[in-house]
Homo-oligomer: A and B are copies of this chain.
Amino acid sequence: MNKLKVSIVGGSGYTGGELIRLLLFHPNIDLRQITSESMVGKYLYKSHPNLRKVTQLKFSSISELEKCDVLFLCMPHGQSQKNIEVYKELADKIIDLSADFRLKNLDTYKKWYGHDHEKPNLLNEFVYGIPELHRERMKTSNYVSSAGCNATVSILSLYPFFKEGLAEKDRTVIEVKVGTSEGGNKFSASSHHPERAGSLRSYMPVQHRHSAEIIQELSFGKLISVNFSATSVDMVRGVLATIHLFTNQKLEDKDIWKLYRKYYSDEPFIRIVKEKEGIYRYPEPKLLIGSNYCDIGFAIDEETNRVVIIGSIDNMMKGAAGQALQAFNIMHGLPETTGLEFPGFHPI
């Protein structure tokens, strides 16, 4: 098979950098151009110091983009929808890592993003980018909108329960602990090391936009509500979601094991982590750094019908670049784990 020509629009940020790192080592990809208007002509390693000596590629301008097979879009919110026609001209397949094409309902979009969508007719052309839920559509789709990081871990943790109608639909509480790479590379007073180091910042106790994605993906027929909050901890990569799910019937450990196995036993990137002893009894984001796994564990509160589900991913991987590449593999009929085999470190 010939290598596929791939370019990236918006490659100087964190997500773009992670994607470059993956694509450079993907056996079926010929990485051609990476744009950054502010870095045109400079070596990639000026933005991504880990790529020093790894590649001699330089940043291009969007205006220099040539036709290719696949275009990844890694721009700030709002940019993809603005110029999507241009990108469609350049490539048959597009994978957008921004939030622009995730929500399918126009009113919902307006409610959470505060403005009308500029290309409403395209929303349904983009498959929502969690392969575990939409693999079949991806296989034949030209457009994928990669899912939000917090949404991904929340949805994967909860999907079997909502799909099977086991959840009380409005009581779920999702409390995510996130690293600071989620905020991107724009610095501010708030991200200044002496202020942010050692902090536990309640940066979005309510109204986090990823809530809308969770609601969209977990509402089967009847609209659910989720009670979401996000706290930033002193780590760079990783998300840990502690989810309080209330079931509408008594479930035991073995029931939940069976449930997860039904949905995920063949999934290459989902692991159920629930140990009776040892150091790592539940998922831990630090073990997932660089990997594309979503680890899921759970504990039952025997007093109530509460199940505490603990989900974890690397927000840069399964929460962004890794999941986008997983979609790429599916769209091209490649083995789904190609270029995503890295297992994570221990210790780290």
Contacts and interface: CB of A to CB of B under 8 A. Distances in A.
A261 interface: no
Interface string A329-348: 00000000000011111111
Interface string A230-255: 01011111101010100000000000
A293 to B, nearest CB: 8
Interface string A302-316: 111010101010001
Contacts of A306: 206, 227
A194 interface: yes
Contact of A50 (B202, B242, B343): B343
Contacts of A202: 240, 242, 281-283, 297, 299, 308, 310
Interface residues of A, number: 93
A192 interface: yes
A284 B300 CA distance: 30
Given A308-B206, A308-B229, A200 B235 contact: yes
A287 B53 CA distance: 13
A112 to B, nearest CB: 11
- Residue of A50, A304, A341, A342 ringed by the most chain B CB atoms within 10 A: A50
A236 B282 contact: no
Nearest to A48: B346
A282 B206 CA distance: 13
A171 interface: yes
Given A289-B345, A343-B51, A225 B303 contact: yes
When all copies of this chain in the complex are counted, the total is: 4
A188 B346 CA distance: 18
A299 B204 CA distance: 9
A17 B171 CA distance: 42
A305 to B, nearest CB: 10
Interface in A198-225: 198-202, 205-207, 225
Contacts of A51: 343, 346
Interface stretch (A99-107, A121-129, A153-161, A174-182): A174-182
Contact of A198 (B200, B283, B286, B310): B286
Contacts of A207: 301-302
A285 B46 contact: no
Interface of A: 14, 17-18, 21, 24-25, 46, 48-54, 170-171, 173, 175, 177, 179-181, 183, 185, 187-202, 205-207, 225, 227, 229, 231, 233-238, 240, 242, 244, 271, 273, 278-287, 289-291, 293, 297-304, 306, 308, 310, 312, 316, 341-348
